[in-house]
Amino acid sequence: MGSMGNGTSDYGNSFYREKGRYKGILSWLMSTDHKRIGIQYLAAILTFFSIGVLLGLLIRLSLIAPGKILGQNTYNQVFSVHGILMIFLFIIPGVPVAFGNFFLPIMIGARDVAFPRLNRLTWWLYLTGAVLVALSLFTSGGPPDTGWTFYAPYSIKAQANITLAVTGVFVLGFSSILTGLNFVTTIHRLRAPGMTWFKLPLFVWTLYATGWVQMLATPVLAITLVFIILGRVFGVGFFDPSKGGDPILYEHLFWTYSHPAVYIMVLPAMGIISEVIPVFARKTIFGYKAVAFSALGIASVGYFVWGHHMFTSGMSDTARIIFSFITFLVAVPSGIKIFNWVSTLYKGSIVGRAPLYFALSFIFLFSIGGLTGLIIGSLAPNLHLHGTYFIVAHFHYVMFGGAGFAMLTALHYWFPKMFGKMYPEKPAKIGWFILFSGFNLLYFSMFILGYKGMPRRYFDYPPEYFNLHLMSTIGSWILAAGLAIIAGNLLWALFRGSKAPADPWGGKTLEWQTASPPPAENFYEMPAVK
Amino acid sequence: MEKSGEQRDHIGAKYGMWFFLFTEILFFGGMFILYSVYRAKYAHDFHLAAAEENLLLGSINTAVLLTSSLAIALSISAVKNGNYRLSVKLQTATVLMGLAFLVIKYFEWTDKISKGIYPDSPVLLKISAGQILFFGLYYVMTGLHGLHVLIGIVVISFMIYFTRAGDITSENFSKLENTGLYWHFVDIVWIYLFPLFYLIT
Amino acid sequence: MVQGEAEKSGHIVPYGTYVYVWVALLLLLALTIVVAKVELSKYGVFVNLLIASIKAGLVLFFFMHLKYERWLLKAMLFMVIATLTAVIALFFADVMFR
């Protein structure tokens, strides 16, 4: 392996050429190269995202003509599958498995993750879980109609094939745990000489915090799902009141995982923003340590706030007050991040490229999502807003406006590095504008709907809600058009784009010091860590 | 350039194993949470139901598992000392004790099932809510623990093969050491299960 | 790649140490059965859980080598146990005050 000059684009020596032991498709499916695994994950999650978007469009379409397009049971199944796909197959694995896999080792100056074969295994587990979930749609009983939350006791008694779907999610959880474990070990053990903890890129810090949440929260989901399976197969009634069980404990256990899972989704997304903002503001990040520690702060405090999903469940007042209080605490580290991003932009010489557009809209949308989170985290307003479209709007702002936009940021920021091609700037920005407009029309209407009392998960509603539903549905079409332009632009660039230089944006982290796309073991020479 | 996958970082391997055990702590933690909540709610029923447990068999099983833990710990020291034959013997002893544990467990379970005590059984559904929950927890927790013992037995069997084949040496013992960590963890889970199910009469 | 670090896991624990620990574990097992048989009313369960924790500690520190590990691993284990404890406390904040 010869050394190369100042790393211009060079397909000949890239990891795409280094096939290893296997030929053809197996050189992908059996590869233990973190970059190949990352690309496969990216393809997988984007596929499931596309299906999820189509289901979402179907839900919106059905809501402007209740009962005419989807029957009530079908409606329940469609929104459940939309949720399960988007949560477990797209956004929870999302950033870490695609961009984390590709960039974590490069950013810390390593040749691969700590356990490359384990990394390979996680991809296969992910695929197995996805197949099991898919099979549950077509086998006895049909698609789950429980919502993505699988609340007991309904999930234990429902006719649908919950057992298989839950088994699939269990396997996906296993994949997620092993990815987290792998990343945390990698960050502890494989940093290049000189790459001390406080020189780590902020994306790496967020992956570190995320890894811990994956390790400590996901097992609780695993055991909860095992309880569902045991309940359905053997009649163990831990959540069945007729057998002495307490259904509220199911909600506790479920949210003990599923709230921290929100941080699995959004923490690495914040890491991406922390990378992109300084590069395009031509400044170092404001308050590096504060941003790094706020990731750990969000991860640790965010672990203990799950009860705010259950304010109307019949939980004790003591617990409600405690959970509401801790929920407010999470706003502090989140606020620190927003403050530091904005301060980084202050007096920077801002370069308005496409990744920055997405990153800035992340800050805007995530702030709306976060601030409305404070409204529903307060006990009194929660009683009014719980289980309404306000919640739906809130989490779509946080998840799609947050994690989703961050993924689009990452895709535009790292596309040249991953594929060695540049995409045309103008279509990217046009796509962004349409997406951003459609997004706000689609989901902001839901805030108003929810405030006016429209309950979530209903396939029908009184006529006074029609106008807002119509606006929301029109928003969904605009949003889809934006996504289509973005996807088309990137696909075009994949085949026809011009060659990307090693460092098209002027980034300072290690991935920009190697070729685009990187060679098989990431660096020709050990990079210098400054 | 050395391939990173082939690099030997046994501290890294050990960290990976410990992290896996952390996830196991939370996995079993979920069950212990349910146990503690239901025990707090139905303390009296739990006392009544625990009388059904066989203290003698439970105690023997605890001793068996503790001894098997000793054996695997010694086998690691033996490997580090270069005494591979002793290590193989000790690992074999661990496997045998693990099997003995499962056999005893099998007798305990079948005894209960023959009395009609198993989840959703007609006998069980007639008694009080707390007792239904106690036996449900008993089967689920000892069952999942038993599954971990079974996995441990399979893994240690592979380790015996690796030690004999010369893949595990005094220089390269991460596999065996990590297996030992797993086995000890399974032991610790039992250390807690024992008083919670057998000693609260 | 690995920064210079004392190879502490190369440490070989003598056979005798393990045997002593094992004897202690069996004695504690006997003790816990005796405690259960003697009616200590409410406190029996707590004493037995305390004994179980001592046994778990012996296994952790000697069989699992925690005694010979760096502080980092101990700190991480402590954090995990603290997390689980806090979760249990929050569960009880609900069920005890309902």
Distance CA B41, CA A528 (A): 61
Asked if residue B98 lies in contact with residue B149, where contact means CB atoms within 8 angstroms, the answer is yes
Question: What distance lies between CA A296 and its chain's CA centroid?
Answer: 18
Please indicate whether, in this complex, the C-beta atoms of B67 and C45 are within 8 angstroms of each other: no
Instruction: Annotate A211-266 with three-state secondary structure.
Output: HHHHHHHHHHHHHHHHHHHHHHHHCCCCCCHHHCCCHHHHHHHHHHHHHHHHHHHH
Asked if residue A295 lies in contact with residue A267, where contact means CB atoms within 8 angstroms, the answer is yes
Shortest Cα–Cα distance, A101 to chain C (Å) = 19
Pick from C80, C83, C97: CB nearest A318: C97
Pick from C2, C80, C94: CB nearest A319: C94
B7 pLDDT above the threshold of 60 = no
C11: confidence class by pLDDT, cuts 50, 70, 90: confident
Q: What is the mean pLDDT of residues B90-103?
A: 98
Please indicate whether, in this complex, the C-beta atoms of C80 and A216 are within 8 angstroms of each other: yes
pLDDT of residue A98: 97
pLDDT of residue C57: 97
> pLDDT tens for residues B138-186?
999 999 999 999 999 999 999 999 999 999 999 899 999 999 999 999 9
Question: What is the percentage of chain A residues whose pLDDT exceeds 90?
Answer: 88
The b-or-e profile of A477-498 (16+ CB within 10 A means b, else e) is ebbbebbebbeebbeebeeebe
Q: Which of B22, B28, B54, B23 is nearest to B137 (CA)?
A: B28
> pLDDT tens for residues A414-431?
999 999 999 999 999 999
Distance CA B28, CA B152 (A): 16
Q: What is the mean pLDDT of residues A181-205?
A: 96
Please indicate whether, in this complex, the C-beta atoms of B66 and C22 are within 8 angstroms of each other: yes
Residues of B (138-197) whose Cβ lies below 8 Å from C: 177, 180-181, 184-185, 187-188, 191-192, 194-195
Torsion of CA A183, A189, A195, A197, to 10 degrees: 70
What mean pLDDT is reported for chain B? 93
Q: What is the mean pLDDT of residues C59-87?
A: 95
pLDDT of residue B1: 32
pLDDT of residue A25: 86
> pLDDT tens for residues A340-360?
999 999 999 999 999 999 999
Q: What is the mean pLDDT of residues A278-283?
A: 96
Distance CA C3, CA A191 (A): 9
Chain A residue with Cα closest to C80: A216
pLDDT of residue A12: 66
Torsion of CA A376, A379, A381, A385, to 10 degrees: 60
Q: What is the mean pLDDT of residues B49-56?
A: 91
Which chain B residues are closer than 8 Å to A182 by Cβ? 16
CA B106-B53-B51 angle, to 5 degrees, is 165
Could you give the C-alpha distances from A490 to A103, A496, B35, in angstroms and in order? 19, 10, 52
Chain C residue with Cα closest to B29: C84
Q: What is the mean pLDDT of residues C19-32?
A: 96
Residue whose token pair is 């896996």: B20
Distance CA A312, CA A387 (A): 9
Please indicate whether, in this complex, the C-beta atoms of B59 and C33 are within 8 angstroms of each other: yes
Please indicate whether, in this complex, the C-beta atoms of B23 and A177 are within 8 angstroms of each other: yes
Which of C79, C85, C94, C95 to substitute to test the interface with A, most A CBs within 10 Å? C94
A18: confidence class by pLDDT, cuts 50, 70, 90: confident
Shortest Cα–Cα distance, C24 to chain B (Å) = 11
Which chain C residues are closer than 8 Å to B25 by Cβ? 80-81, 84
Asked if residue B21 lies in contact with residue B182, where contact means CB atoms within 8 angstroms, the answer is yes
| pTM attached to this predicted model | 0.95
Chain C residue with Cα closest to B62: C29
Which chain C residues are closer than 8 Å to B80 by Cβ? 10, 12
A409 pLDDT above the threshold of 70 = yes
Which of C40, C64, C65 to substitute to test the interface with B, most B CBs within 10 Å? C64
Q: Which helix (H) or strand (E) holds C79?
A: helix C71-95
Tokens of B24: 């196991």
Q: Which residue has the higher pLDDT, B96 or C34?
A: B96
DSSP string, A254-310: HHHHHHHHHHHHHHHHHHHHHHHHHHHHTSPPTTHHHHHHHHHHHHHHHTT-GGGG-
Distance CA B38, CA A212 (A): 29
A5: confidence class by pLDDT, cuts 50, 70, 90: very low
Chain A residue with Cα closest to C76: A212
Q: Which residue type is seen at B134?
A: F
> pLDDT tens for residues A244-257?
999 999 999 999 99
Residue A14's SS3 state is strand
Distance CA A129, CA A179 (A): 15
B95 pLDDT above the threshold of 70 = yes
What are the φ/ψ torsions at residue A388 (nearest 5 degrees)?
A: -110, 180
Burial of A321 per CB tally in 10 Å (0-12, 13-18, 19+): middle
Please indicate whether, in this complex, the C-beta atoms of B27 and A245 are within 8 angstroms of each other: no
A10: confidence class by pLDDT, cuts 50, 70, 90: low
> pLDDT tens for residues A38-51?
999 999 999 999 99
Pick from B125, B128, B136: CB nearest A238: B136
What mean pLDDT is reported for chain A? 94
Distance CA B181, CA B21 (A): 8
Question: What distance lies between CA A407 and its chain's CA centroid?
Answer: 8
pLDDT of residue C40: 64
Shortest Cα–Cα distance, B73 to chain C (Å) = 6
Long-range contacts of A473-477 (CB under 8 A, 24+ apart): A473/A60, A473/A61, A473/A63, A473/A64, A473/A442, A474/A441, A475/A438, A475/A439, A475/A440, A475/A441, A475/A442, A475/A443, A475/A445, A476/A56, A476/A57, A476/A60, A476/A61, A476/A438, A476/A442, A477/A57, A477/A438
**Alpha helix segments (H runs only) across chain B:** 10-41, 43-50, 55-80, 84-114, 122-126, 129-165, 174-198
Which chain B residues are closer than 8 Å to A234 by Cβ? 119-120, 139
Residue A459's SS3 state is coil
Mention every residue, 6+ apart, whose C-beta is less than 8 A from residue A199: A529
A7 pLDDT above the threshold of 90 = no
A90 pLDDT above the threshold of 50 = yes
C41: confidence class by pLDDT, cuts 50, 70, 90: low
A335 pLDDT above the threshold of 60 = yes
Chain C residue with Cα closest to B173: C10
Q: Which of A279, A479, A447 is nearest to A376 (CA)?
A: A447
List of chains touching C (3+ CB pairs within 8 A): A, B
pLDDT of residue A20: 74
Which chain C residues are closer than 8 Å to B36 by Cβ? 88, 91-92
